[in-house]
Structure 1
Amino acid sequence: MDTTRNPNRDLQQQRQRLEALVQPTLGSRPIHRPIAHGLGQALKQLGDRAMRFFTGQNELRIWQRTRNGQPLWFAHDPVTNRTRSFYSEQDVRTWLDQRYYE
């Protein structure tokens, strides 16, 4: 019997469990009430913070959303705890290059 543990595998499993808590279930009907949206956002933020705490994640996080039919990019730096928004993928890449060489 192998008694050694793989800490990376354990962290990956914890991360998957946490992501499952904050990800919407496929086929579920969205609730469009402001209170439900606010609660969903709060739970997502709580899940994101818990995931960072358990994984010790200090890497940049980049994601894309659509607002008013237009794509909008976001980048969060957990070291500075700042989130920036961009109107194009190229803007994100330019910011990343500038940030890297600072």
Structure 2
Amino acid sequence: IEVSSKVLQVLTAKARAAGSWRGIEPLDFLFYAKAGSEEVKVETFGNKLQLSNLLDIDPKGGSVSTHKIKYFVTSPKFVNINGVPYLEAEATENLIG
């Protein structure tokens, strides 16, 4: 995911409350991709953040600084695209959850 410095501050507060970045409970994400009149809704569940290259700030030509944060989907609910599971339940039943 790509977040602004302001959102990074919110995540930092969550990490502080959890005692560490790794202590943050898994999060669910909701994304919308839109091109013209077409829209795709993607939901990912139980996302565990993994910090890497946090100091690699990408200002994109003078606009707001952004930070890229990797994550792993760990919930058996896994990923839904337009409300439909990406994988069948049997394929995700042994995820960490």
TM-score when normalising by structure 1? 0.40
TM-score when normalising by structure 2? 0.41
Q: Of Structure 1 and Structure 2, which has the larger fraction of its residues in strand?
A: 2
Rg larger in 1 or in 2?
1
